[in-house]
Structure formats: C-alpha cells, structure tokens
Amino acid sequence: MTFNKITSIIDDDSGATAIEYGLIAALVAVALIGALGTLGGDLGTFFTNISGKLPALPN
C-alpha cells in the first residue's frame, strides 16, 4: 500500500454519516416510547369513555 491509499482510508468518513443517522433514529425511538408510555393510559381511558357513550349496535 502506498501512503496515499493509507491516508485516503483514514480520511474516509462515509461510515460516520450512517452511524449518525442510526443514533438519531435511536433517539427518536426512545422519545416516542417515552411519550407513548406517558400518554398510553390517558388514551385508553379516552377511547373507553367514547365507546361507552356510543349507542349499542343491533344484533
């Protein structure tokens, strides 16, 4: 290997972009899990109240 090939390998940062996108996706997933965990019980109660107010379907 020549010195130019070694420096081109060291300077190659194309994999860093993929890692950054992966970290952003993981952060968004953690935020969604936290938000849905907090709101999950409230949403269940909300839809239970709505379904209790709807008229029953005929058989």
pLDDT tens-digit series, residues 16-44:
778 888 899 999 999 999 988 888 778 88
C-alpha distances (whole Å) from 14 to each of 4, 11, 34, 57, 58 are 18, 9, 31, 59, 62
- Alpha-carbon distance of 24 to 29, in angstroms, equals 9
| 0.85 exceeded by pTM | no
